[in-house]
Amino acid sequence: MGKNITQKILESHLVSGTMAAGNEIAIKIDQTLTQDATGTMAYLQFEAMGVPRVKTKLSVSYVDHNTLQYGGFENADDHRFLQTVAAKHGIYFSRPGNGICHQVHLERFGVPGQTMLGSDSHTPTCGGLGMMAIGAGGLDVAVAMGGGAFNLTYPKVVLVNLKGKLKPWVSAKDVILELLRKMTVKGGVGKVIEYGGEAVQSLSVPERATITNMGAELGATTSIFPSDDITKEFLKAQNRKKDWQGLVADSDVKYDETIEINLSKLEPMIAKPHSPDAVCKVSDVEGMKVDQVCIGSCTNSSFRDLMIVADVFKKGKFKVNPNVSMTISPGSKQVLEMITLNKGLASLIEAGARILEATCGPCIGNGQSPPSKGVSLRTFNRNFEGRSGTKDGQVYLCSPEAAAAAAIYGVITDPRKLGKYPKVKMPKEFRVDDSMVILPAKDPSKVDILRGPNIKPLPVAIKVQGGVSGSTLIKLGDNITTDHITPAGTWLKYRSNVPKYSESVFSAIDAQFHEKAKAANGGFVIAGENYGQGSSREHAALCPMYLGIKGIVAKSFARIHKDNLVNFGILPLTFASLADYDAIDQGDKLEINDLASQLKAGDSLTIKNVAKGKEIKVKHGFSQRQVDIILAGGLLNFTKGQAA
């Protein structure tokens, strides 16, 4: 029997384990990626391992989240730390303004057939090149930089069979929105989404990258396209033809699941507040007043996307509606230069668009928060409640085409009403200027790592002794995101200051949570389905660990967050019977006795609800390696022990 793309890459990088669904395997990592919101902690963890130089083929540190160095010295100090730690330890450093990590990596560094681990959940963007690119917590990335393997549960592989061809005004964003409508935000958990079919040849690499980028919202391990002639042409245009290799699934391969999408039948789609899977047709919500339109983010900020929008406004044909604020965030310095050379930037400025820096910006709540109760159409990937910075903001996710139509008419409008569809051809040659990527120092001994006062010592979990007990500090519902746990926006400047950042934990739900947790000396969190979806930020595990959280008992977990909880010595447990969710109330004292013996005995644990005199069965689903990590007090302690 033949092999799919996923199997081929995993097999060629296999370090240990058996490639069968549900088994834990370890794979070698070729490249790593960090960004400034997660990188500071990742490099503090890397330093703690005592490895002098990274052992990957390539590691890149990007500054793209907090480039607005507002409200004090913290961001500027952290960026200085990132630059000097990169120089010393053999890491490439992409300066602020060079672009969003995923867009720049796609352009300049991604290699088909290689593996990459990134401390950002949208790392799968490079799956558009045929790369096995996986989002993870910063500690996993630090271990990979030190030469360690990455452990994951061997995934099921889902084929998304693409047929037909996109009609005018329908784009790649509509493809992934349709898949989210079909699969939901938890439908991809434990799976790799692999794209195939006749229609793949009609999609450029940036269009493929839009689709793989937002596969993170499915909860998938990663998403991947074949590496074919389209890929070769893209890399050739980036002056990187030498990095290309062909990689396609065998003709006789069988998949665990197949989903078919006929592109010819797709219409413009939109995700309603407050979830990426709340998807309907644009025509279903047409006419709703719009206050803001934001075009960009790592999902839709390529040359192709911005030139489509620029061509809509070309030669003053349309203007931005006076009741709408419209912003453009180019994905990279290269994109900004290319749309300038092609006169797209002038069209956007003339139309009344506001041009922002080549960064994440509004996508993670750094600037451009909509007005109270305002409707904001965004070409981004997430619309969780409050993520925009406005608690009651109504954020919709759509394509650049639909966003442009709304900006013109001031209401949600089917973009097919805009007339003739612009034709944007992929450049035969991109403008290549890597001057904002700083190479590592040739002599690391001459580099002093600069640390500002906001960089606090790395908190480390305590090794488990006996059992664990504590009060139920909070009880939550379904689809709690990492934004709920540790919000982004203005809080991000404390990413290297865990004592301060921990004050944000669950602050949007209970502003006094951190005080209650400290007063109670930690405890437990109870939650519903899909706990920890969204961003890969490990602070959503690290800060609760600092507050003394001992365990999260939920109906189910998002993949990256569950791994992060294990990495920081917090027990992620699932109810054996979902009905037992109702058997625990906030304030109940819980006990798990003789934890080590219970973990070693099998998948089942017993929690005693002291308040109600009831025993509750839960499952952990850990591998033996994860059991050892929990008992060691987290991955950092475990890794040090292994090295010793």
Query: Does 144 lie in the same domain as 253?
Result: yes
Q: Is 454 within a domain? A: no
DSSP state, residue 461 = P
pLDDT along the chain (644 residues), means of 10: 96 96 94 94 92 97 88 90 97 97 98 97 97 95 96 96 98 98 95 97 97 96 98 98 97 96 98 97 97 97 97 89 97 97 95 95 88 97 91 96 98 96 93 97 95 88 86 96 90 90 95 95 96 91 96 95 94 96 96 93 94 95 93 88 69
Exactly one of 30, 59, 65, 78 is catalytic; which is it? 65
Q: Is 139 within a domain? A: yes
Burial of 498 per CB tally in 10 Å (0-12, 13-18, 19+): buried
Could you tell me how far CA 587 lies from the centroid of its own chain? 33
Q: Is 279 within a domain? A: yes
Query: Does 328 lie in the same domain as 253?
Result: no
Rg (CA), the chain: 24
Is 537 catalytic? The answer is yes
Exactly one of 382, 416, 484, 539 is catalytic; which is it? 382
Exactly one of 30, 77, 78, 120 is catalytic; which is it? 120
| Measured distance CA(174)–CA(197) in Å, rounded | 17
Q: Is 448 within a domain? A: no
The residue whose two tokens read 């690290």 is 542
The residue whose two tokens read 């549900």 is 22
| Measured distance CA(139)–CA(150) in Å, rounded | 11
Query: Does 278 lie in the same domain as 313?
Result: yes
Q: Is 455 within a domain? A: no
Query: Does 290 lie in the same domain as 241?
Result: no
Q: Considering 213, 245, 265, which residue would you say is the last residue of a domain? A: 265
Q: Considering 265, 285, 311, which residue would you say is the last residue of a domain? A: 265
Q: Is 534 within a domain? A: yes
Query: Does 607 lie in the same domain as 576?
Result: yes
Query: Does 292 lie in the same domain as 159?
Result: no
Query: Does 274 lie in the same domain as 261?
Result: no
Query: Does 629 lie in the same domain as 524?
Result: yes
132-135, strands of its sheet edge to edge = 132-135, 115-118, 31-35, 58-62, 92-94, 437-438
Q: Which two tokens stand for residue 445?
A: 């001994």
**In CATH, what number is assigned to the domain containing residue 537?**
3.20.19.10
What's the angle, vertex CA 298, arms to CA 297 and CA 299, rounded to 5? 90
Is 382 catalytic? The answer is yes
Is 121 catalytic? The answer is no
Q: Is the dihedral of CA 480, 482, 484, 486 positive or negative?
A: positive
Q: Which two tokens stand for residue 427?
A: 């450049």
Is 620 catalytic? The answer is no
What would the DSSP string read from start to end of 351-388?
HTPEEPPSS-GGGGTSS-PPPTT-EEEESSS---TTTT
How far, CA to CA in Å, does 360 sit from each of 65, 210, 293, 309, 527? 5, 15, 15, 19, 30
Q: Is 451 within a domain? A: no
Q: Is 543 helix (H, G, I), strand (E, B) or coil?
A: helix
- Pairing relationship of beta strands 191-196 and 222-224 according to DSSP bridges: parallel
Whether residue 459 contacts residue 498, with contact meaning beta carbons closer than 8 Å, is answered with yes
pLDDT at position 492 is: 85
The residue whose two tokens read 């706990």 is 531
Q: Is 409 within a domain? A: yes
The residue whose two tokens read 């309907």 is 280
- pTM value is 0.93
User: Domain total for the chain?
Assistant: 3
| Axis-axis angle for helices 303-312, 400-409 (nearest 10) | 30
Q: Considering 418, 435, 450, which residue would you say is the last residue of a domain? A: 418
Exactly one of 102, 122, 537, 620 is catalytic; which is it? 537
Q: Is 407 helix (H, G, I), strand (E, B) or coil?
A: helix
Is 65 catalytic? The answer is yes
Query: Domain range spanning residue 388?
Result: 269-418
DSSP state, residue 253 = -
Query: Does 542 lie in the same domain as 614?
Result: yes
Query: Does 183 lie in the same domain as 133?
Result: yes
Burial of 196 per CB tally in 10 Å (0-12, 13-18, 19+): buried
Query: Does 614 lie in the same domain as 497?
Result: yes
Closest CA to 88 of 35, 47, 37: 47
Query: Does 324 lie in the same domain as 224?
Result: no
Is 64 catalytic? The answer is yes
Exactly one of 36, 64, 174, 305 is catalytic; which is it? 64
Exactly one of 275, 302, 332, 535 is catalytic; which is it? 535
**In CATH, what number is assigned to the domain containing residue 315?**
3.30.499.10
pLDDT at position 643 is: 65
